[in-house]
Amino acid sequence: MASATLIWWSFLCAVSLLNVVVWAASVAHLRRRAPGLDPDTRALLRLQMLLSAGYVLGCAYRSMFPVYDVQRLGLVDSWLSSVIVGRSVATLAEMCFAIQWALLLRTLARDSGSRFALWIAGLVVPMIALAELCSWHAVLTRSNLGHVIEETLWGLSAALLVAGFARVRPHCAPSVQRVLAGACVIGLAYVAYMFMVDVPMYWARWVQDEAQGRQYLSLAQGLADASQNWVVSHRWADWETEVVWMSLYFSVAVWLSMSLMHVAGLLGRRPGQPVAYAGAGTVAPASSLRLDRLPR
pLDDT tens digits along 79-134: 888 889 999 999 999 999 999 999 999 999 988 888 999 999 999 999 999 999 99
In a domain, 292, yes or no: no
Residue 187: give its domain's CATH number.
1.20.1070.10
In a domain, 276, yes or no: no
pLDDT digits (tens, 9 = 90+) for 173-211: 888 889 999 999 999 999 999 999 999 999 999 999 999
- Nearest in space to 246 (alpha carbons), one of 29, 38, 67, 4: 67
Q: Give the mean pLDDT of 48-61.
A: 96
- Residue 173's pLDDT is 82
Q: Give the mean pLDDT of 228-237.
A: 86
Is the pLDDT assigned to residue 135 strictly greater than 80?
A: yes
- Residue 285's pLDDT is 37
Tell me the three state secondary structure of residue 277.
Answer: strand
Our count of domains for the chain comes to 1
Is the pLDDT assigned to residue 286 strictly greater than 50?
A: no
In a domain, 175, yes or no: yes
Measured at the CA of 12, the angle between CA 11 and CA 14, to 5 degrees, comes to: 65
Is 51:99 a contact under the CB 8 Å cutoff?
yes
> Within 13 Å of residue 265, how many CA atoms lie on the same side as its CB?
16
- Residue 244's pLDDT is 86
The percentage of residues in the chain with a pLDDT greater than 90, rounded to a whole number, is 60
DSSP character for 90?
A: H
> Going edge to edge, which strands form the sheet with 231-232?
67-68, 73-74, 231-232
* Domain enclosing residue 257, as ranges: 3-214+226-271
Q: Give the mean pLDDT of 17-25.
A: 96
In a domain, 291, yes or no: no
The percentage of residues in the chain with a pLDDT greater than 70, rounded to a whole number, is 90
In a domain, 24, yes or no: yes
- Residue 282's pLDDT is 36
Is 117:108 a contact under the CB 8 Å cutoff?
yes
In a domain, 287, yes or no: no
Is 115:167 a contact under the CB 8 Å cutoff?
no
Cα 72 from Cα 214, distance rounded (Å): 16
Name 276's Cβ contacts closer than 8 Å, sequence gap at least 6: 173, 175, 176, 266, 267, 268, 269
Helices 83-112 and 115-141: angle between axes, nearest 10 degrees: 170
